[in-house]
Chains A and B, each alone.
Chain A
Amino acid sequence: MRERERAAEARRPQRGERSSFSLSALPPRPLRLCGFSFSLSLALLWSSGARANPLDAFGFGSRQTAMGGAVAADVSDFSAGYYNPAGLAKAQGFELSVGYFRADHFLYMNGKNSNVDPVKGMVGGAVVPGKVYNLPFAIGVGFHIPDDRLTRVRALAQDEPRWELYDNRNQRLWFGVNAAISPFPWLQLGGGVTFMAATLATLDISGYLDLLTPTDSSLRHEVNADLKMVAYPDFGARIEVSKDLALAVVYRGQFSLDLNVAANVLAGVGLGRSGSLTTLALGLQTDTIDSFLPQQVVVGGSWKLGETVHANLDLTWVNWGAYVPPVTRINTQLNVPPPQGGWPAGIAPPTTPAPTVVLPIEIHNQVVPHVGVEWRALSRRTWQGFVRGGYEFDKSPISAQTGSTNYVDRDRHAVSAGLGVRLIHPATVLPGDVRLDVHGQLSVLPTETTLKADASDLVGDYTAGGHIWNLGFTATVGF
């Protein structure tokens, strides 16, 4: 069985301090776990599944990741650009954040590690609050920059087994710019765009092709390549229903990385320097769609359960039904007239091969529940300590691969935890605070066996499952 896997994906992180709803502003209040438990139960009744990009899969910022990505109504730092742009309007001061995370996959097929590449890189951003016509206004910039590359488009043959939602989809940059305004103290509205790039290229090659010693061919090329900007929108709203309850709704647009390359070869063909036997006209068009990000709608809430505890719940609807798998569509045209006198001995007449038919993927929309809790465990005059936990359940949106395609996926249970410390006015030059947060997240993908409908399938039945570790930190300086 061929193997080659990688992957990663599905979740979200957080952080969210300065919001009026954050723990530093929470007044004393008795715990109200009943409401929280009800919400959690309700959420788990829903099916789920969402690993749409590196931030969906592994979170954006350590606080957010530790809280299971359930922060749509409880975020006001750089990560608000991803979780809910409206939260930016709750920022109390200028903030700069920087962090790092690394997610390592231990995903197996038939007991063999699929060697899915790790997802690792910097995260960070800035929030700049201010006022326009006396209304709170803020802009935010957020980024995740992978260590190894900005983006990667990788398409494999559809029958080649790969962890479809983890293999390559998380190997990409995230860069978002957002703005928010608070027209009323109880309402924040925000929106922005996230930028990516698609590639269109035409490659023309001409000259003389030496079939005997190809590297002696006298060829040259010209290129017309464009990196096209792809911007997808996101917007959100946050409503403070009471001092203890905030609700949020967020929309994230659909996106994909397209790579369309057309290669055209027009050359004389011969053996050595004896001159052309015939001509070759080859047209090769490859169209690849990768890193498809389905549109999402998030409904979230944040409940204050006491002076030092609050709990959050987000439900994310993911339009997986629109998913396009990263399999290259190829179209070839090969025209090589037979030489006068026929083909020399040892060279078989070339023919134009038929393109592989790309089979549709069966994939379904899902709702993903995220829950998170934050507890301000310690509070001193000059510093505070936080403990956080979270959970997310991603039910696989991909149907069992019983046919000839092998888009491998499994349900994912992601349990996360984190610690945070906030230093209050730590130095004269830092009139705000300094925060350091760390997180750990374990994703478990239960091992299951996929049985092929056709006993003669080249890949055959397979057992797949594993786990993913995600560790990281985020440091923030607030002013």
Chain B
Amino acid sequence: MGGTGAASSTGADAAYTNPALLSLVHRNVLTLGLTGAVFNLHADGTGLPGRVSVLPARAYVVGAEVPIPFGGMLKDRVAVGMVFYTPTDALLRGSILYPETPEFPLLADRAQSLAIRIGTGVDLGYGLRAGVGFAALAELVGSIDVINTAGNVGANVDDQLIATYAPTIGLAYDLPFDRAPDGSPRWRIGATWRGTLEATFAVNVDASKLSTLNLPVFNIAGVAQYDPSELSLEVAHQRDGWTFAAGFTWKHWSAYPGVFEPTILCPAGTDCAALTPPVIAYSDTLVPRAGAEKVFALPRHTSVRARAGFFLEPTPVPGSLPSSQAYNQSTQGLVDVPTRFFDTTRYVFSLGAGVDLGDYGPFTVDVWAQYHVLAPTTVSTCAGGQCAPDPGPAKLSGNVLAYGLLAGVRF
């Protein structure tokens, strides 16, 4: 449904889209699924490869929705939901490449990250629902110290995975007009705020005792994964088996610090000649979304659902990227190199279908697919610098196909 859900989710996915809607859950459901994505990304121009190599993404999805059986005034009003997205290849992939290496980091690597979202929703009455939740990631920090004992080299290693969390807060309100004959609401508005989720990679490598050379401590660090804070607003309407949803999401990309950190940290209070990474001016984005679902009721409480949607994902990356610096061994000096941190606006179309076996068994099956079209874009990659040879503009294009299969069991 085009990534809508802030006013229309009805299951465990509400832990992400709007935890307030978890209060609509009244049965235990466990969901298992597989999702994947294949990338066809192109960067054409001087020194560019054409097709940019990106590994396909595959992941398991586990979801659970559980009503909490309070009594009294809280009866049938509270539920929790959990969604785990676990890539098959890596829980978290940190790919921080040299700036001149062509890559689409906001698109490809973001599919290679574990996502854990847990939320709870409460029906406050009068059509008002509220929910809170959080998302979690892990970041790696530590050190590797080479030790040298009488000519034999070893290492002391101390690395830690530290959890990072981002809150999610959601509200939903059933509008009091245009009710269905049974009194159920036909119009609902929803709002969700998701906090920034950031995972860094920071390992200090101290090889100064390896040999007689006076090696510095290497600060190998960067932002491995980043989700900006977001605000989603949406309105949903239900009538005659149809559900329509439309809204937008504001993403605070301008707070993104970028992936790079300097390799050598200057001593506190001093200025040194260490290289500093390029600074890219990211901009906030506004994502419009729309989706629709039709439920076809069949005998014995079975049903078939068909879904479709669309959203437009603008790129936060500017069309003019600043140059980066590198050391050129042949000239024995610093040179400007292009920054090829690519991204484009995407048009995303989605389709899906689901079956509920009703009285035949406590199972549901859903399938979906998304097709992302990368808007053809031209970017300059050496703004403010003197790259040699001049890389010229980079022409970006491509598409992405994402898909998934989910099976649920009520118990």
Contact = CB atoms under 8 A, between A and B. Distances in A.
Nearest to A284: B207
A217 B157 CA distance: 25
Nearest to B362: A132
Interface residues of B, number: 87
Nearest to B214: A211
Contacts of A137: 411
Interface in B54-83: 62, 64, 66, 68-75, 80, 82
A275 B275 contact: no
A286 B144 contact: yes
B213 interface: yes
Chain A interface, >50% SS class = strand
A149 B362 contact: no
Contact of A221 (B62, B210, B263): B263
Given A139-B64, A211-B213, A350-B213, A217 B154 contact: no
A436 interface: no
A216 interface: yes
B409 A479 contact: no
Contacts of A228: 89-91
Contact of B266 (A207, A215, A218, A288): A215
A224 interface: yes
B71 to A, nearest CB: 4
Interface residues of A, number: 93
B327 A268 contact: yes
A433 B224 CA distance: 44
B141 to A, nearest CB: 9
Contacts of A156: 156
Nearest to B30: A139
Nearest to A225: B94
Interface string A272-294: 01011001101010101000000
A409 to B, nearest CB: 21
A479 B207 CA distance: 57
A216 to B, nearest CB: 4
Nearest to A428: B72
Nearest to A334: B211
B148 A353 contact: yes
A33 interface: no
Given A349-B212, A430-B70, A224 B218 contact: no
A128 B156 contact: no
B154 A330 contact: yes
A221 B72 contact: no
A177 interface: yes
A443 B134 CA distance: 37
Contacts of B82: 141
A435 B349 CA distance: 50
A269 B144 CA distance: 22
A1 B62 CA distance: 51
A275 B331 CA distance: 9
B138 interface: yes
A418 to B, nearest CB: 27
B101 interface: yes
A217 B205 contact: no
B264 A219 contact: yes
B160 interface: yes
Given A224-B94, A226-B93, A354 B153 contact: yes
Interface stretch (A9-17, A35-43, A196-204, A395-403): A196-204
A211 B71 CA distance: 72
B227 to A, nearest CB: 16
A225 B142 CA distance: 13
Nearest to A274: B332
A353 B152 contact: yes
Contacts of A177: 62
Given A132-B362, A205-B218, A222-B97, A150 B73 contact: no
Given A334-B211, A351-B211, A197 B274 contact: no
Contacts of A201: 94, 140, 201, 203
B92 interface: yes
A459 to B, nearest CB: 13
Contacts of A479: 68-70
Given A93-B69, A221-B220, A330-B154, A263 B144 contact: yes
Interface string B243-280: 00000000000000000001111110010111101000
A268 B329 contact: yes
Contacts of B147: 157
B5 interface: no
A219 B218 contact: yes
Contacts of B266: 215
Given A276-B329, A328-B155, A356-B153, A222 B71 contact: no
A130 interface: yes
Interface string B113-143: 0100000000000000000000000101010
Contacts of B350: none
B302 interface: no
B216 interface: yes
A305 to B, nearest CB: 34
A38 B82 CA distance: 46
A353 B332 contact: no
Contact of B163 (A128, A150, A286, A349): A150
Nearest to A458: B149
Q: Which residue among B62, B201, B362, B411 has the maximum number of chain A CB atoms within 10 Å of its CB?
A: B411
Interface string A341-382: 000000111111111110000000000000000000000000
A429 interface: yes
Contacts of A430: 70-71
A155 B156 contact: yes
Nearest to A132: B411
B152 A354 contact: yes
B86 interface: yes
A187 interface: no
Nearest to B96: A223
B94 A229 contact: no
A456 B79 CA distance: 67
A220 interface: yes
Given A207-B327, A336-B213, A351-B211, A197 B73 contact: no
Nearest to B93: A226
A153 B157 CA distance: 7
A168 to B, nearest CB: 9
B334 interface: yes
Interface string B210-245: 111111101010101000000000000000000000
19 contacts: A145-B163, A153-B157, A199-B140, A212-B214, A214-B214, A214-B215, A214-B216, A215-B216, A225-B201, A227-B114, A228-B90, A259-B159, A261-B144, A268-B332, A334-B210, A353-B152, A354-B153, A428-B71, A430-B70
Pairs A-B, 6 closest by C-beta atoms: A130-B411, A214-B216, A428-B72, A350-B211, A226-B90, A207-B327
Given A201-B140, A429-B75, 13 more contacts: A145-B163, A149-B160, A150-B160, A153-B159, A199-B161, A207-B326, A212-B214, A220-B262, A225-B93, A261-B144, A284-B144, A284-B207, A428-B71
